[in-house]
Chain A
């Protein structure tokens, strides 16, 4: 079955860039997502990328996709304390198909 893996924890200093990595196994994935979960809250869709794209940039966020290696990354430029949260990578075949989530990476931003 599908599997999405992430490292559990990342710590960065405020102002530095953060890079959160994710690998997935389902080569038929059409959409890859990044979600943010702040403490005690639900999930917020941050951004997504189509599988035929290599990169997508949205303000401080840059998503890179290496489809050959099934590797997805989220780069947060100028990381702020408000970026401290758990970040989930997810994949889907699109439309109303089910979404498979990774285990989440907890980002800690040190002031």
Chain B
């Protein structure tokens, strides 16, 4: 079954404690991205990756890091989380030969609370 998985699904942590949210896809997609969803703000892109070792900033990259060492995995790293990073996070992947991201798949989301 084609899918994007994220772990953990729920996380409560404290300010300053480094954490990693994993994202994995089994569709051999080149393109992966991370979004955060906040009430009244919709989804905002944090980082995206066009292929292995190729990443770029989205709209709200501050406080986040990513890596793309393997095609299937695209972890999101919060080196020193702060309460304003409390949010719902989505990972997405797609393989778009036409450029329209027609086959974009989203993960189930990770709800993060930073105290």
Please list the residues of chain A having a beta carbon within 8 angstroms of any beta carbon in chain B: 1, 4, 30-31, 33, 41-45, 48, 50, 88, 90, 92, 94-96, 98-104
Given A42-B107, A96-B31, also A50-B100 (CB < 8 A): yes
**Which residues of B, 83-115, contact A by the 8 Å Cβ criterion?**
90, 92, 96, 99-104, 106-109
Q: A42-B107, A98-B48, A102-B42 are contacts. A31–B90 as well, Cβ < 8 Å?
A: no
Least Cβ–Cβ distance between A63 and chain B, in angstroms: 13
Within 13-31 of B, Cβ neighbours of A (below 8 Å) are at: 30-31
Give A101 to B104 CA distance when docked, in angstroms.
14
Measuring CB to CB, which residues of chain B are less than 8 angstroms from any residue of chain A?
Answer: 4, 30-31, 33, 35, 40-45, 48, 50, 58-59, 90, 92, 96, 99-104, 106-109
- Cβ contact of B101, chosen from A44, A45, A103, cutoff 8 A: A45
Residues of B within 8 A of A92 (CB): 101
**Is B59 a contact partner of A98 (Cβ separation < 8 A)?**
yes
Of all chain A residues, the one with the shortest Cβ separation from B32 is A96
> Would you mind naming 13 contact pairs between A and B with Cβ atoms under 8 Å apart?
A1-B59, A4-B42, A31-B99, A41-B108, A42-B4, A42-B108, A45-B101, A88-B43, A96-B96, A98-B45, A98-B59, A99-B33, A101-B43
Partner of A95, one of B45, B96, B108: B96
**Contact partner of B44 among A31, A33, A101, CB < 8 A?**
A101
* Chain B residues closer than 8 Å to A98, beta-carbon distance: 33, 45, 48, 58-59
> Smallest distance from the beta carbon of B57 to chain A beta carbons, Å?
9
Nearest B residue (CB) for A42: B106
